Amino acid sequence: MEINFNEQLNEYNEFDEKRIKNSFVSIQDLEKIYPNGVKAVYDFNLDIKHNEFIVIVGPSGCGKTTTLRMIAGLEDISSGGVFVDEELINYKPSKDRKMAMVFQSYALYPQMNVFDNIAFPLKINKFPKVKIDEILKYNNEILELFKNSEISKIIQVLQEIQNKKALKLSQNEHLMMRLKISEGASNVLLEMNIKDFNNFNNEVEAFKNKLSNEILNEKKYLENNNLKVNEQYEFIENGEKVIVYDKLTKNEIKQKVFEAAKILDLGPYLDRLPKELSGGQMQRVALGRAIVKNVPIFLMDEPLSNLDAKLRLSMRSEIVKLHNKIKATTIYVTHDQTEAMTMADRIVVMSKGFIQQIGSPEEVYNHPKNLFVAKFIGSPSINVIEAEYDNGNIFATNEINFKLNEKFISEHNEFYDNKIKIFEEKLENFNTESIEFIRKILSCVINETNVMNFPTKKHKHFKRIRNLINRNKSVEVGIEEKIEANRLLESLKDARNNAHKVYLGIRPENVKVEKFNQNKEYNNAIIVKPTVCELLGADYLIHFDYEGNDFVLKTDPKCDIKTSDLIVINFSYEDMLIFDSITGDIIYE
Amino acid sequence: MKSNTKHTKLSKSEKQRLKEKTISFILLLIICIIWVFPFLYMFGMSLKTDVDIGTNPTSIFPSAGNWTLEHYLGFISMKGDRIDDLPIWMINSIVVTFLSVLFTLIVDTLASYAFVFFKFKGKNTIFAILLLSMTIPTAISMTPMFTMYASVGQAIEGLANNRAYVMMWLILPGVANVFNLYLMKNFFDSIPKDIVESARSDGASDFKIFYKIVLPLAKSTLMLVSLFAFVSSWNDLLWPQLILSGKDSTFQTITVALTGYASGDSWEYKGIAMATSVFALIPILIVFIITQNKMIDGLATTGVKR
Amino acid sequence: MSEAVINRKKDRRKEILKRYGLAIGFVSPFVLVFIIFTVIPLIMGFVISLCKYNPYDLESTTFIGFSNYLMLFGNNVLARTFWQALGKTLIFDVVAVPCLIIIPLGLAYLINMKPPGYKIFRAIIYLPSVISITIVGVLFGAIFSDSELGLINAWFSSENPIPFLSDPVLRWTVILLASIWWQTGTNFIILSAALRNVPKSLYEACEMDGGSRLELFIHVTLPNIKGSLGIVLFNTLIGYLNLYGQPTVLNSAINRNNIESPMMLIQQWLNSFERSSLTGLISATAIFFGLIVMLFTFIERYLMKDRKGGSKYEIQYKAYEA
């Protein structure tokens, strides 16, 4: 279908040119709305550099797979744009997007063996090749061969290929390998039908003459038709090499597949059908199929979810090794935060269709932007305690309280002032943006009672057809959001000036523990008995109950604590993260 | 920075999907109209007077004012112009089919259950032999079955024309159907063995397990088997025609009886033939309409390998 | 032995009986019917085929070895009719069986696009499959009748009505059309279910590899419905080798008694009282024909089997590595 170029140009104007120019893949304001009105992805913005390994991570239903599929071209983009190498690819079919995708179910063709599976994209596509004059190039190559090599060797090789059945490779491949010539040249050489090996020299002369004649004729032909070639016999037009699109030859395909098989160690399995392979092997075949396309972008949709735990670990490192070797830009989707932390250059955390945070693993772990990210990243998850903030004093329990300095108090006030300002702005001008803003706030709130269920209308047939034609009916329910926005604003105003609730977060490894010693003096320390002690080999996890909450701490296994022992807990306040209870955003670290 | 572009035009693949649906809708509509046509024709013809049939062959439905129920009334009133013995044929078909379905259900379900849930010697070999027998074409067993039927009927006085004897030979050969065995075995295999084992350890007898636990679960498969048994028994032509030939016409099932009116000639009886056909169709249609979805879904799963 | 031991033995025997008793009880009706109506006829059939046999005159039974079978290759009425009928049926099958696979496949493909009302379309297409062949005969006999009262002839009211059912070629065409109308439904349902079970991710992978619509069909759709295609082919093949109903009900006065298929032959000869002394011969014919059908089915199963790959690529790869 013809794309309306004017429309396309118009859309360009809405996008940020600088971002497009400065990154390899630029995803701007990407959104997805389904025909029944449900919005799956809101306002997705991400700029990816060359060779980056990006992991999009989040719980089920957060929109990560939908985003990936929009980038790949398997889902339609509702609004926004995806740019690859400064080109808008929204309307391009999947195969033209320079991307390869690895599916969760591997999606191997069950009727083809491994070789054919990997070779498939090469077989059905045409690839750009420089147009060369075959006669000139290959005839000359053979003439060179005769000039420079020992005749006896050539005779020997030609005799070898007479017995087709005993050969391991095809005749072409045999010649290519033994005489170190190209495929085209070996085709020419095969034209020489030797009737009598004893009369070799004469036949060679006759053949050489034939080749020379062909060369002369070809040169005349080129002259007559005004075609030019350079020293490598490539056609030149207007000073540039001529490129044609043509299918690859069998040998070229074989070469590429073998290369990929070598990298992935699939040699022994090339003849097997997918049903004869294990999960890990199938995964590698899927990777092979992606590698062989020679594209700069790899997309992976939860490729490790179907593997067992141990295999997952080994494949994880294999994928990273592969990425380093091939240097392709990779976008990887998973729900496993361990995979994200170990593999990514940058992590994109998503929830309920919104991006919560983008950052390196270190950033996302140590400086989470909100409570959702803090809880999602990190295993075991962060401990969260409710506390009360009153003008710089934080009070959770008798044992957990501290006072914060002036700097923090002013930061705190600034935080709330900002928030209040933003909310007031949004409420003044209550439109679609505001509605989505509220939804975003709610997307990361842990308190389930706060989460609204945005009603999706069940459209019967008629309406479904109507919806197909004018989509974007997603934002009909604005009233509930408005009420919610007002309620939040009130809470914020209240929080700004009065005592209010905050959440304290502390990572398990930052909780200090020691065995209870009767003779020691403990000031304001928590003394409990552990509920569960888990030995993970190098780490030791101790669970304990405190004030009705379940806490986890991570410590050295050498500490020799059992569930019968009493332990003393110390929270180091410097490592605590303080979160606002209304919006979930972080206030202080 | 944030763009509020609402794309009201459809993107490429959505346009394609819409195009697909419209084309397939139009094509299927045309095909289905052609498909339904013979039924309409049959129904319309059955309401035409014989005169009308002769004078207006092209119209599907009777010309104005010439609608008639005379062909139908013939059955009910037992007088006037009707195809003889229709009511008896219908009764025959109903009885034969009903008994077929009943016996098939009982015999096949019990046997299939035994093969899946009981352990006994030689179970697997017997089952393998049964499966193998599916490959033997019906042609081979037709002759000897017929001769058995004929010889026994000949040997015992009066048996040959005994209604019960003939009925028995109509019903029983189809009862031990290995395909049904296979269908039900597939279903029984899918029941997790844990249920049976826990019931057994609770002390339930095997029969109780069958009756109270497995059977209720198997309702849809049983219904499927009944449906197929019903349709195949009602529509059977080959074997009944063989047995019933030469016998009194009151023995015939409706399917066999109608063959006489199937030719392209005998236009004097076309109206009646059509009405008879409609009649013959009614039971099947009723069953079909009620269970249509189940029938279709069940048939679909026979092709699916687990 | 002490009484306790004897009692225990008795109990165990009772238990075994109880255990197996139920199993035997469940299986026996089936096995009984099966033996009486399948196994015995089979054996009997084979035995009869080796004899001269008359069910109405059992004393005249004599053993004559394979001479019944040899009759099929001789120059007599039976042989000629049989081979002629077989030939006609096979020619018809070569046309009919592909029709009955491709047309349902096409319809299944259309219906899987789920246009509005597809459930109704599905039911309509399947409906003819549940009616009996005689009704089909009545209907198509009337529509394609030779006389000018037949629907088609009346529409094209020309001088001479087209002899649909008298002319041999036309008659087979009508039989073909009737068969398609009658039996597309079953295959259609099975194939449509198979189409739905093709994993969507496979289509997407092929799209991403650059496949066109046609390539999607060849490389993704067809291989993944192979199982169901095999079943459909198997059933249709058997059904149409055993062709019986359609020629029986779709005929005109001229060819009413023609024997168009081997099954018709067996049926008619069995039916006629005059030929009852030839029962042995008929049985032999039936067995011979049955063997031909079995041969076809074995060939079909063999062709549709999954092949295992060799190891050619592995060898070449090793050479490449070296």
Tokens of A291: 């590698």
**Contact indicator for A326, A98 with CB cutoff of 8 Å:** no
Residue span of the structural domain in which A171 resides: 130-241
Considering the domain architecture, whether residues A153 and A230 belong to the same structural domain is answered as yes
Query: Quick one: which of A112, A40, A30 has its CA closest to A71?
Result: A30
Distance CA A301, CA A65 (A): 7
The per-residue pLDDT for B7 is: 40
Residues B198-236 as b or e (16 or more Cβ within 10 Å = b): ebeeeebebeebbeebbeeebeebbebbbbbbbbbbbbb
Nearest-CA distance from C234 to chain B in Å?
11
Closest-CA residue to C47 (of C270, C285, C284): C284
Relative orientation angle of helices C262-271 and C77-111, to the nearest 10 degrees: 130
Residue among C207, C219, C310 whose CB faces A94 most closely = C207
Q: Is C307's Cβ below 8 Å from some Cβ in A? A: no
Q: Which tokens hold the place of A234?
A: 């490539």
- CB of C90 within 8 A of CB of C98? no
* Sequence-ordered list of residues with C-beta below 8 angstroms from that of A152, at least 6 positions apart, any chain: none
Q: Is any Cβ of chain C less than 8 angstroms from the Cβ of A110?
A: yes
Q: What is the distance between the alpha carbons of residues C262 and C89, in angstroms, rounded to a whole number?
A: 8
Question: Which among C23, C154, C192 is the nearest to B58, CB-wise?
Answer: C154
Domain coordinates of chain B in residue numbers? 17-68, 86-302
- Total domains in chain A come to 3
Where is pLDDT greater, at A176 or B301? A176
Share above pLDDT 70 across residues of chain C, in percent, rounded to a whole number? 96
More confident call, B205 vs B111 = B111
Q: How far is CA A35 from CA A77, A227, A459, B14, B17, in A?
A: 12, 55, 10, 10, 13
- A48 burial (CB, 10 Å; 0-12 / 13-18 / 19+) is buried
Q: Which residue matches tokens 């008694």?
A: C257
CB A45 within 8 A of CB A465: no
Report the gap between the CA of B7 and the closest CA in chain C (Å): 24
Distance of CA B31 to the CA centre of its chain: 24
Q: Does the CB of B18 have a partner CB in chain A at under 8 Å?
A: yes
pLDDT at C308: 67
Residues on chain A touching C310 (C-beta within 8 angstroms): 271
B27, C110: Cβ pair inside 8 Å? Answer: yes
Q: If pLDDT is split at 50, 70 and 90, which confidence band does C108 have?
A: very high
Q: What are phi and psi of B28, to 5 degrees?
A: -65, -35
Q: What is the CA radius of gyration of chain A?
A: 33
Burial code of C292-301, b = ≥16 C-beta within 10 A, e = fewer?
Answer: ebbebbeeee
CA distance to partner chain C, nearest, from residue B227 (Å):
10
- Angle at which helices A432-443 and A479-497 cross, to 10°: 60
Residue at A474 is within a domain: yes
- Name residue A541's beta-bridge partners: A534, A554
Of C215, C314, C317, the CB nearest to A124: C215
Name the residue among B146, B280, B299 with its Cβ closest to that of C135: B280
In this complex, do C110 and B176 lie within 8 Å of one another by their Cβ atoms?
Answer: no
**SS3 assignment, position B84:** coil
pLDDT tens over chain A, length 589 residues: 444 444 554 455 678 888 888 889 999 999 998 888 788 898 899 999 999 999 999 998 888 999 999 999 888 888 889 999 888 898 888 888 889 999 998 889 988 889 999 999 998 888 888 888 888 888 888 888 888 888 778 878 887 777 777 777 777 878 887 888 888 888 888 887 777 777 777 778 888 888 888 888 888 888 888 887 787 778 887 777 888 888 888 888 888 898 888 888 888 888 888 988 998 899 999 999 999 988 999 999 999 988 888 889 989 999 999 999 988 999 999 999 999 999 999 999 998 888 989 999 999 998 888 888 988 998 888 888 888 888 777 777 776 777 777 777 777 888 888 888 888 877 777 777 777 777 777 776 644 433 334 433 444 444 555 555 554 444 445 677 777 777 878 887 887 777 888 888 888 888 888 887 777 777 767 788 888 888 888 888 888 888 777 888 888 888 778 888 888 888 777 778 888 777 767 776 6
Cis peptide before A380 (omega within 30 of 0): yes
- Please give the sequence-ordered ranges of beta strands (E in DSSP) within chain B, or none if there are none: none
CA angle at residue B28 from B25 to B30, to 5 degrees? 110
Q: Quick check: B231 contacting C, CB < 8 Å?
A: yes
Q: Which of A473-477, B36-40, B55-59 has the lowest mean pLDDT?
A: A473-477
- Residues A299 and C208: their CA atoms lie apart, in Å, by 11
d(CA C215, CA C205): 12
| C207–chain A Cβ distance below 8 A for any pair | yes
Q: What is the DSSP letter of A370?
A: B
From CA A430, how far away is CA A436, in angstroms rounded?
10
Asked if residues A349 and A57 have their Cβ atoms less than 8 Å apart, the reply is yes
Phi and psi at A458, nearest 5°, equal -90, 105
How many angstroms from the chain centroid is the CA of residue C171?
Answer: 21
Q: What is the pLDDT of residue C1?
A: 60
User: A393 in a domain, yes or no?
Assistant: no
Residue A393 belongs to what H/E stretch?
strand A393-395
- Chain segment C33-53, per-residue pLDDT in tens: 888 888 888 888 888 888 888
Query: Do the beta carbons of residue A358 and residue A46 sit within 8 Å?
Result: yes
The top-scoring range by mean pLDDT among A174-178, B246-250, C21-25, C128-132 is C128-132
φ, ψ (nearest 5 deg) of residue A429:
-115, 65
SS (H, E, C) A249-265: CHHHHHHHHHHHHHHHC
**Which residues in chain A touch residue B12, judged by CB atoms under 8 angstroms apart?**
1, 76, 91, 93
From CA A557, how far away is CA A537, in angstroms rounded?
8
Looking at domain B86-302, what is its CATH homologous superfamily?
MetI-like (1.10.3720.10)
CB of A209 closer than 8 Å to CB of A215: no
Is B255:C134 a contact under the CB 8 Å cutoff? Answer: yes
pLDDT of C90 > 90? The answer is yes
Of the candidates A19, A171, A25, A180, the one whose C-alpha atom is nearest the C-alpha of residue A90 is: A25
Distance from C-alpha of C98 to C-alpha of A185, rounded to nearest angstrom: 47
Q: How confident is the model at residue B4 (pLDDT cuts 50, 70, 90)?
A: very low
- Among C201, C203, C306, C317, the strongest candidate for a mutation testing the A interface, having the largest count of A CBs within 10 A, is C317
Question: For an interface test with B, which of A96, A468, A473 has the most B Cβ atoms less than 10 Å from its Cβ?
Answer: A468
Mean pLDDT of chain C: 84
- So what's the ipTM on this one? 0.79
Residue A472 lies in a domain: yes
**CB spacing of C270 vs B146 below 8 angstroms:** yes
User: Do the bridges between strand A577-580 and strand A586-588 make them parallel or antiparallel, or are there none, so unpaired?
Assistant: antiparallel
For residues B158 and B217, is the Cβ–Cβ distance under 8 A? no
| Residue B175 and residue B167 in contact, taking contact as beta carbons nearer than 8 Å | no
Q: Do residue B139 and residue C128 have CB atoms under 8 angstroms apart?
A: no
Structural tokens at position A261:
């098989």
CB contact under 8 A, B11 and A77: yes
CA C231 centroid distance within chain: 11
In the complex, which subunits touch A with 3 or more CB pairs below 8 angstroms?
B, C
- Reference A503, options A362, A380, A383; nearest CA is A383
* C252 interaction partners in chain B (CB closer than 8 Å): 263-265
The answer to whether C56 and B150 are in contact (CB under 8 A) is yes
A9 and A94 co-located in one domain: yes
- Report the DSSP pairing between strands A577-580 and A567-571: unpaired
Report the distance separating Cα A317 and Cα A53, nearest Å: 13
Residues A94 and A177 both lie in one domain = no
Q: Note whether B124 contacts A: Cβ–Cβ < 8 A.
A: no
Please choose, from the candidates B102, B98, B83, B100, the residue with its C-alpha nearest in 3D space to the C-alpha of residue B250. Answer: B83
> Position B144: which residue type?
P
CA gyration radius, chain B: 26
Which of A339, A355, A371 delimits the end of a domain?
A355
Q: Report the predicted TM-score, pTM, of the whole model to 2 decimal places.
A: 0.80
Q: Name the residue in chain A with its Cα closest to that of B17.
A: A468
Query: What DSSP state is assigned to residue A132?
Result: B
- The count of residues in chain A is 589
> Considering only CA atoms, which of A446, A340, A358, A412 is closest in space to residue A589?
A412
- Name the phi and psi angles at A222, rounded to 5: -60, -40
Q: Residue A142: its pLDDT value, please?
A: 83
Cβ under 8 Å to B: C residues 209-228:
227-228
Please name the helix (run of DSSP H) or strand (run of DSSP E) that holds residue B13, with its range, or none: helix B12-46
| Confidence (pLDDT) at B3 | 36
The gap between the terminal CA atoms of chain B, to the nearest Å, is 53
A326-360 burial, b for 16+ CB within 10 Å, e for fewer?
Answer: bebbbbbbbbbbebbbebbbbbbbbbbbbbbbbbe
Q: Is A26 on the interface with B (CB under 8 A)?
A: no
Neighbours of B, requiring at least 3 CB pairs below 8 Å, are: A, C
Q: What are phi and psi of C133, to 5 degrees?
A: -65, -30
pLDDT of residue A423: 80
Q: Does C208 touch chain A (CB under 8 A)?
A: yes
- CATH, residue A87: 3.40.50.300
Residue B297, pLDDT > 80, answer no
Q: Which of C267, A580, C315 is nearest to B243 (CA)?
A: C267
CA distance C269 to chain A (A): 48
Does residue A422 sit within a domain?
yes
* DSSP SS3 for A26: strand
Q: Which residues of B touch A43 (CB under 8 A)?
A: 2
3-state secondary structure string across A315-340: HHHHHHHHHHHHCCEEEEEECCHHHH
Flag whether A559 is in a domain. no
Stated length of chain B: 306
> Tokens representing A131?
């147009």
**CA closest to C24 among chain B residues:** B114
